């Protein structure tokens, strides 16, 4: 995995845990179409690799953020970024699903647990990409925000589906309609986070959870239980 040819993410194996880093440090790990395409490809490939038991998603610590949201600087005129489209893809306006939503669906269809180790600020797509993950282990001082309303945008990345089911409609209204930024510590008990820990303990805590599952839990059991939980989750009421 470490030798895989990637531009905006990096991959490495730690025992049976595949560690994926969003890796654009100068841009605070901001999201691009390249990052989206690579993340989908790697997560889908991991499903077929028997050595991978658990997937851990985090941000390159040199970027000072988990993901600072969409990199709008690479989108002249607000259009798609030059050179960032997958081969044969006609353009963003040709598709009903946004790029972040396609990445979220790749996580949602994973038959292996995905842990988000949120080691810094996560706003916009940086926040919504964590919602379909099975665990969200976050730094207590990490800033979160579903800030679309302050940019004149609507929710994306399947967040209208996942957020309300994680925190309930009342809290989702609070987060989205105010478009406010909050720290994980301030909303520790809202249902959004699995664990809230000091920043220097995020990766070690996430890796401890990942390795425990990789070693002590049947992969077949995890796969079937993910399906059972996701189906019940999707059915809602």
pLDDT at 73: 78
- Read off the pLDDT band of 90 (50, 70, 90): low
Segments in 113-195 forming alpha helices (H): 125-128, 159-167, 169-178
Q: Percent of the chain having pLDDT more than 70?
A: 89
Taking residues 129-147, what's their average pLDDT?
97
pLDDT confidence of 236, banded at 50, 70, 90?
low
Averaged pLDDT for residues 64-90: 66
Burial 198-214 (b: 16+ CB within 10 A, else e): ebeebbebbbebbbebb
Q: What is the mean pLDDT of residues 222-233?
A: 90
Which pLDDT score, from 0 to 100, does residue 98 have? 76
Eight-state DSSP code of residue 121: -
Q: How confident is the model at residue 72 (pLDDT cuts 50, 70, 90)?
A: confident
Q: What is the mean pLDDT of residues 12-33?
A: 95
Which distant-in-sequence residues (6+ apart) come within 8 Å of 51 by Cβ? 13, 16
Helix H or strand E encompassing 205: helix 202-216
Round to whole Å and give the CA distance between 191 and 81: 35
C-beta of residue 12 within 8 angstroms of C-beta of residue 1: yes
For residue 54, the model assigns a pLDDT of 98
Strand spans (E) along 42-194? 54-59, 114-118, 122-123, 135-139, 143-145, 181-183
Confidence of residue 234 (pLDDT cuts 50, 70, 90): confident
In this predicted structure, which of 2-11, 30-39, 49-58, 80-89 has the lowest mean pLDDT? 80-89
Model pLDDT for residues 157-177, shown as the tens digit of each residue: 899 999 999 999 999 999 999
Please tell me the total number of residues recorded for the chain in this structure. Answer: 237
Is residue 3 very low, low, confident or very high in pLDDT (cuts 50, 70, 90)?
Answer: confident
Three-state DSSP class for 25?
helix
Find the largest Cα–Cα distance for the chain.
Answer: 51
- Does position 84 have pLDDT exceeding 60, yes or no? no
Q: pTM score, two decimals?
A: 0.90
């Amino acid at each position: 995995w470490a030798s895989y040819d990637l531009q905006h993410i990096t991959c490495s194996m730690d025992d049976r845990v595949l560690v994926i880093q969003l890796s654009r440090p100068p841009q605070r790990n901001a999201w691009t179409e390249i990052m989206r395409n690579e993340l989908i490809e790697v997560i889908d490939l991991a499903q077929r690799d028997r050595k991978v038991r658990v997937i851990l998603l985090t941000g390159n610590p040199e970027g000072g953020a988990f993901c600072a949201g969409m990199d709008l600087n690479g989108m002249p005129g607000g259009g798609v970024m030059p050179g960032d489209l997958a081969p044969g893809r006609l353009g963003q306006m040709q598709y009903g699903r946004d790029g972040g939503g396609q990445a979220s669906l790749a996580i949602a269809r994973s038959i292996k647990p995905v842990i988000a180790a949120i080691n810094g600020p996560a706003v916009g797509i940086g926040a919504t990409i964590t919602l379909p993950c099975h665990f969200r282990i976050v730094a207590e001082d990490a800033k979160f925000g579903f800030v679309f309303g302050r940019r004149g945008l609507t929710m994306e990345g399947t967040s209208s589906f996942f957020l309300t089911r994680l925190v309930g409609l009342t809290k989702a209204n609070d987060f989205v309609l105010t478009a406010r930024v909050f720290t994980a510590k301030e909303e520790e008990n809202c249902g959004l986070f699995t664990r809230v820990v000091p920043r220097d303990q995020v990766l070690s805590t996430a890796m401890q959870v990942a390795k425990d599952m990789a070693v002590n839990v049947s992969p077949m059991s995890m796969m079937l239980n993910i399906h059972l939980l996701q189906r019940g989750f999707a059915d809602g009421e």
